[in-house]
Amino acid sequence: MLVKWIRCSVVDRRGFERGQRKWAGLLGEPGFRGQGGGWSRGRPEVAHVFAFWENRVFYDSFMARGHDALAAAQSGTCNDIQVKLFEYRFDVKTGFEPAFTDADVLRVAHSRVHEDRVEHFALMQQRVWNPAMAGSPGMLRGVFGEAPGHEFLVLSMWQSSAERGKYRAGSVERLSQRAQTEDDVAELAGDVVQLEPSWTV
């Protein structure tokens, strides 16, 4: 599975939201699995959208044919658009499906990892972080993906920000030490996204 992460700074919020609803046109595209997103909790002008495709072949085919017509509806509503593609590596919790209807909040963590620490980082995600997140009340499901250049995405879906806050407060520092995160990670950025139901495809 291919995970596409789009992050943009929005200058015309109403126009952007109107255009975002046009992406319902993705339904029926071969290989399309789902899309959703919302507004950053920390930076109200930043929008995040996550799209899921069966594989790169289906995605490239859509980009060559249907993408530009759908994207035209949002022309001029945002700037500084950043797009990254990640190949699925494994689930966070079990049975990941790109469904957004039962989630309220999405947490995204983006890491650039030292080359000689890539396998250790992935192993720690499986052995330390995944069990901790999977055992947290309100954590629904998540996905761990990898991009060229030793970049990784951890995307987790939560029933509410209060539940995610409980997980965060007590355990992140302790888990980081156990996973030796500081030794693995060169750069780490993240955000909490308030999902917008009308953006779900």
Nearest by Cα to 5 from 130, 121, 98, 140: 98
Tell me the β-bridge partners of 154.
Answer: 109, 144
Query: Which domains occur in the chain, in start order?
Result: 2-199 (3.30.70.100)
Query: Which residues, at least 6 apart from 180, have a Cβ–Cβ distance to it below 8 Å?
Result: 120, 124
Over its length of 201 residues, how does the chain's per-residue pLDDT go in tens digits?
Answer: 999 999 999 999 999 999 999 999 999 999 999 999 999 999 999 999 999 999 999 999 999 999 999 999 999 999 999 999 999 999 999 889 999 999 999 999 999 999 999 999 999 999 999 998 888 888 999 999 999 999 999 999 999 866 666 666 557 888 999 999 999 999 999 999 999 999 999
Tell me the β-bridge partners of 40.
Answer: 193
Collapsed DSSP state (helix, strand, coil) of residue 169: helix
- Look up residue 66 and give its DSSP letter: T
Encoding tokens for residue 79? 């700037």
